[in-house]
Amino acid sequence: MAGRSVVSLNYVAAYTEVGIERTSPVLEKKYYTPDVDESTKTKNAQYTKDGVVKLKYLVCTKESCKTVKKVDTLDKGSQNTIIHQNKPSKRSGCQAQIRLELFDHNKFRIYKFVEEHNHSFVDEEDLHFLTAARSLTYQKEKLLCAMSNLNIGPVKAFNIMRTMYGGFENVGVTASDCKNFKNDINTYIGEYDADMVVRRLLRKKEFLPNFWFDYQTTDDGALKGLFWADEDSKRNYFTFGDVISFDATYRSNRYNMVFVPFTGIDNHNRNVTLGAALLGSETVESYKWLLQSFKKAFLYEPQVVVTDQDPAMKRAIEDVFTSSRHRLCMWHVMEKLAVKVGSRLCNNTDFKKQICDIVWTDSITPDEFEREWHRIINEFQLTSNKWLSDMFEIRDSWIPVYYRHENMSGLMRTTSRSESENQFIGQVCSSKSTLVEFLSHFETTVEGQRHEHRKNDHDTRYNNPTIWSDFILEKQAAQVYTRTIFNDVQLEIQAACHKCVSAMYINVDDFLKFSIKDLEQPFAPFFEVMFRREDVTVTCSCNRYEQFGLLCCHIFFVLRMCDIREFPKKYILRRWTREAVPNTSTRAVVSREGCSENNGDIDGVVRDIMLSTEYVINRLVTNMDQILLNVLENHTFSLGRIFLFFRRSLEIHLQTSPCRTFSQHLKDSSSL
């Protein structure tokens, strides 16, 4: 096109070969000799006699040549009929070598030396591609194991490491090396997988206080059931075990064993794991063994058990948990709705909304529920749907309006407690994992869960909520309940102040009977609140306290109207309070009893060295002059000083009181 000039730029990347190129004067053959200190990697071998090294050989990594195996592809009777892929060889038949032999006075002498290499050397920037330049160090192995516990695969772990170390060339390994390391671990576990898990849990039971573990095997010795719970799980069950849920919908390992977590609700209204099991089958016998082990561990049954619709599980609960009330998880039931009635009906009409309005509520009566249910079924012509008919027949086991007087601790009020627990565990589980890996994943997950609980405790103690009203009970509730629970109580108090009115009250024996209109539920009937001043006894027809253990807005309205100035202690459930369970250490959860004591000491010392090094770096990172002075101007002296520093500190750590950390000893040794 006129008026436009085209400029072509050809860029040729420059590759610098390392080594001095020479030419043989006789054969006029090119060869190379080293020009850098570490650009040439060597292999070594030796000959030993009576435990004494007699001969030692150092040869180039490109010595010898690739052995080509001949294959007769035309001979069908030959055993070697596989055509092997033609892979390139790194070897070039290089003869460079050094040979040493032992002679008198335990000294070695060189008896053969060939300096010439028949190949150029690798550029310094490409050294990290060489096999000899790669190695998995102790810290990299520990990092890979830690990431594996979080279900981070070796390739992702490598990508994280290359970011940490500043590029591919600085990691010192490849993604394949990381994958091979993981495969080597799984190979080592091999057929001893179940045995290693059992021995590890038995060791916990032996050394950890109140740790419970039980297992069963088949007649031929195969593992078919595991159940375990530690001391913290038992403490949590004592406080939060009134209502538990469990299901077996999650398969978490390569053996297709079913993972069964037992879940409760803590004082922050969050999931808390009360125990865990692995089952090889979902039969009545397997579940009965599991529930019997559960009773042996915790000594008493929960008040309410929430499960899915598994018939084997239902039968086992009836036989073992004889005093518990069995309820179905609403989430599992409603998840099947679209499948049972058709996705077109659920997505293109307001059928699902109408069903949810009468299912996900506890503010209507059983008669109202049944009337609305039949209206919806007739309106959408679903009278012949067998699944809906069956679910209506067992409505008292999953519809909240039928157990409004039962304590459910909020478990049925949310959409999915069991499923959220499965998603939580699923973040660190894999269907391809070994049992050893799964146990590590589980311990890491529970550690995170308990850390979150401690954080919620901390936020409750050190963050002051905003008080919305002048009602004195609101201030008292803020000091009693956890922050999450207080938020719920505060909403009820706010509704009592602004959205409730009293239509009338009358005397009934020694009680005052109030008729309360809730403006948030304009079509609901009046709520009846019974109040006795002498002992501050109060009840409400909405049954919120009976079901969730928290007072409703109608009761708060009456307490405010009657000028009650102290929060009634009889209506404060310990499970919702700040001090429901004491803070405990998570060390027992993640301790690796399978490791030797020496390895544990080494890990502790290495961890402290790393933390102390980070402390020193953080102090110097903003002082470039000090860094240049200690590292660039006096590099050798600095390295020697660091070595002596850590050696002296380690000696102090091993010789003095074990109660003090290695980091503290390092600070004491800063005068070196």
Shared domain check, 388 and 472: no
* Residue of 390 and 621 predicted with greater confidence: 390
CB 409 within 8 A of CB 243: yes
Residue 284 in domain: yes
| Residue 412 confidence (pLDDT) | 47
Distances, alpha carbon 463 to alpha carbons 270, 456, 457, 581, 627, in Å: 19, 10, 10, 19, 41
Average pLDDT on 372-400 reads: 92
pLDDT at 13: 47
pLDDT confidence of 670, banded at 50, 70, 90? very low
pLDDT exceeds 70 at position 666: no
Q: Does 313 lie in the same domain as 369?
A: no
pLDDT, residue 590, reads 40
DSSP string, 613-650: HHHHHHHHTT-HHHHIIIIITTHHHHHHHHHHHHHHHH
Q: Tell which wins on pLDDT, 38 or 349.
A: 349
Q: Which residue has the higher pLDDT, 605 or 599?
A: 605
Looking at the structure, do residues 279 and 164 belong to the same domain, yes or no?
A: no
DSSP 338-364: HHHH-HHHHHHSSHHHHHHHHHS-SSS
Question: From the CB of residue 473, how many other CB atoms can be counted at a distance below 10 Å?
Answer: 21
**Across 506-522, average pLDDT:** 91
Q: How confident is the model at residue 285 (pLDDT cuts 50, 70, 90)?
A: very high
The candidate with the shortest Cα–Cα distance to 476, out of 580, 565, 562, is 565
Q: Does residue 248 surpass a pLDDT of 60?
A: yes
What is 98-149 written as a DSSP string? EEEEEEGGGEEEEEEEE--BSSPBPPGGGGGGSGGG----HHHHHHHHHHHH
Query: Domain for residue 203, yes or no?
Result: no
Same-domain status, 315 and 446:
yes
Could you tell me if 537 and 443 are in contact, meaning their C-beta atoms sit under 8 angstroms apart?
Answer: no
Q: Is residue 79 part of a domain?
A: no
Which of the residue ranges 89-93, 337-341, 403-407, 598-602 would you say has the lowest mean pLDDT?
A: 598-602
| 72: pLDDT strictly greater than 60 | no
Average pLDDT for residues 657-664, to the nearest whole number? 50
Assess whether 274 and 372 both reside in one domain: no
Q: What is the pLDDT of residues 15-39, one digit of tens each?
A: 556 667 777 665 666 767 776 554 4
DSSP line for 524-583: SPPEEEEEETTTTEEEETT-HHHHHSS--HHHHHHHHHTT--S--GGG--GGGBTTSS--
Write down which residue in 97, 126, 155 finishes a domain: 126
For residue 86, pLDDT over 80 is answered with: no
Q: Are residues 218 and 285 both part of a single domain?
A: yes
Same domain assignment for residues 344 and 312: no
pLDDT over 70 (residue 244): yes
Is residue 128 very low, low, confident or very high in pLDDT (cuts 50, 70, 90)?
Answer: confident
Query: Does position 221 have pLDDT exceeding 50, yes or no?
Result: yes
DSSP code at position 413: T
User: What's the mean pLDDT when you consider all of the chain?
Assistant: 80
User: What is the pLDDT at residue 547?
Assistant: 85
Q: For 59-68, how does the pLDDT look when each residue is reduced to its tens digit (9 = 90+)?
A: 888 887 776 6
Check if the beta carbon of residue 265 is closer than 8 Å to that of residue 252.
no
Tokens of 667: 């600070």
The answer to whether 332 and 418 are in contact (CB under 8 A) is yes
Residue 485 has pLDDT above 90, yes or no: yes
Q: Are residues 501 and 554 in the same domain?
A: yes
Residues 514 and 491 in one domain: yes
In a domain, 77, yes or no: no
Q: Verify that 115 and 150 share a domain, yes or no.
A: no
Find the range with the poorest average confidence among 433-437, 509-513, 592-596, 601-605. Answer: 592-596
**DSSP annotation string for 357-384:** HHHS-SSS-HHHHHHHHHHHHHHTT-TT
Two tokens, residue 579? 């001090």
Q: How many domains does the chain have?
A: 6
pLDDT digits (tens, 9 = 90+) for 519-574: 888 877 899 999 999 999 999 998 889 888 999 999 999 999 999 999 999 999 99
Is residue 97 predicted with pLDDT exceeding 80? yes
- pLDDT at 7 > cutoff 50: no
- Most confident stretch, 30-34, 53-57, 166-170, 534-538: 534-538
Rounded to an integer, the average pLDDT of 123-152 is: 81
Give mean pLDDT, residues 175-180.
88
Per the domain annotation, does 310 fall within a domain?
A: yes
Q: Residue 514: what are its φ and ψ, rounded to 5°?
A: -100, 140
> Residue 297 sits in a domain of what CATH number?
3.30.420
- Asked if residue 457 belongs to a domain, the reply is no
Question: For residue 538, what pLDDT is reported?
Answer: 96
Longest C-alpha distance within the chain, in Å?
Answer: 126
Reported in sequence order, the residue ranges of 36-81 that DSSP labels E, i.e. its strands, are 42-49, 52-60
CA 624 to chain centroid:
40
Last residue of a domain, one of 79, 103, 126: 126
- The whole-angstrom separation of Cα 589 and Cα 228 is 11
More confident residue, 374 or 251: 374
Q: Are residue 152 and residue 4 in the same domain, yes or no?
A: no
Of the two residues 170 and 320, the one the predictor is more confident about is: 320
In this structure, is the dihedral angle defined by the CA atoms of residues 377, 381, 383 and 389, taken in order, positive or negative?
negative
**Residues 370 and 298 grouped into a single domain:** no
**Predicted pLDDT of residue 410:** 57
Assigned domain for 509 exists: yes
Which residues form the domain of 437? 208-329+416-450
- Count other C-beta atoms under 10 Å from residue 646's C-beta: 18
Position 169 in a domain: yes
Tokens of 83: 């055509």
pLDDT of residue 228: 95
586 or 424, which is more confident: 424
